[in-house]
Structure 1
Amino acid sequence: MKIAFSPCPNDTFVFHALVHGLIPDTPSFEVTYADIDITNNLAATNNELDIMKISYAALPWILPEYKLIPCGGALGRGCGPLVLTAGYNGTEATVSPDPSLLSGKRVAVPSERSTAYLLFRLWAAQNVPGGVGEIVVMPFHEIMPAVRDGLIDAGLVIHEARFTYQNYGLSQVVDLGSWWESDTGLPIPLGAIIARRSLDLSNIQRWIQSSVEYAWQYPDASKKYVMEHAQEMDSSVAQSHIDLYVNEFTASLGEDGYAAITTLLQRAMDEGLVPQMDLLSLR
Structure 2
Amino acid sequence: MKLTLGFSPCPNDTFIFDALIHHKIDTEGLEFEVFFDDVETLNQKAFRQELDITKLSFHAFAYAIQHYVLLDAGSALGFGVGPLVISKKSLMELLLENGVQHRESESASEIVEEDIKPYLSNLKIGIPGKYTTANFLLSWLLPDANNKEELVFSDIEDAAIRGDIDLGLIIHENRFTYRERGLKKIFDLGDLWERQTGCAIPLGGIVIKRNLPEEVKLKFNRVLRKSVEFAFANPKSSIDFIRQHAQAMEEEVMYKHIELYVNKYSVDLGDEGRKAIKLLFSKASELKIIPFLDDNIFLT
TM-score (norm 2): 0.87
Cα pair 1:116 1:158 within 8 Å, conserved: yes
Partner SS state of residue 152, structure 1: coil
Q: Which residue of 1 aligns with 2:102?
A: none
1:30 and 2:43 correspond: no
Q: Please give the secondary structure, in 1, of the residue aligned with 2:63.
A: helix
1:221 is aligned to 237
5 Å matches for 1:212-251?
212-251=228-267
Distance 1:279 1:268 in 2: 15
Q: In 2 relative to 1, CA 87–232 (structure 1 residues): closer, same or farther, beyond 3 Å?
A: farther
What are the Cα deviations for residues 119-153 of structure 1, in whole angstroms up to 9, with x where unaligned? 1110113xxxxx33311111100001100110111
CA drift of 1:279 comes to 5.7
Q: Could you say which residue in structure 2 is the equivalent of 1:63?
A: 65
1:119 corresponds to:
137
Say which SS state the counterpart of residue 220 (structure 2) adopts. helix
Q: What are the residue-to-residue correspondences of 1:97-136 with 2, within 5 Å?
A: 98-99=111-112, 100=116, 102-125=120-143, 131-136=144-149
Larger Rg: 2
Which residue, out of 260, 270, 276, partners 2:286? 270
Q: What's the offset of the Cα at 1:73?
A: 1.3
> Which amino acid is 2:248 matched to?
E
Measured in 1, the distance between the counterparts of 2:29 and 2:261 equals 25
- From the superposition, tell whether residues 149 and 48 of structure 1 become closer, same or farther in structure 2 (CA, over 3 Å): closer
Task: Tell me the alpha carbon deviations over residues 27-71 of structure 1, each in whole angstroms, 9 at most, x when there is no partner.
Answer: 2211100001101111011x2411100001111211221110011
**Identity of aligned pairs, percent?**
37
CA contact (8 A) 1:177 1:188 kept: yes
Q: Give deviations 1:157-188, integer Å, cap 9, x for gaps.
A: 01111111112211111101110000000001
Total equivalences in the alignment: 273
Match in the other structure for 2:8: 6
Q: Which of residues 195, 209, 215 is equivalent to 2:208? A: 195
| 1:49 aligned counterpart, secondary structure | coil
Contact 1:26–1:207 (8 Å) recurs in 2: no
- What is aligned with 1:168? 181
How far apart, CA to CA, are the structure 1 residues paired with 2:65 and 2:50?
A: 15
CA contact (8 A) 2:65 2:295 kept: no
2-side partners of 1:66 and 1:34: how far apart? 18
Shift of 1:26: 3.6
Comparing 197-206 and 134-143, the one that deviates more:
197-206
Q: What CA RMSD, in Å, does the superposition of the two structures yield over aligned residues?
A: 1.7
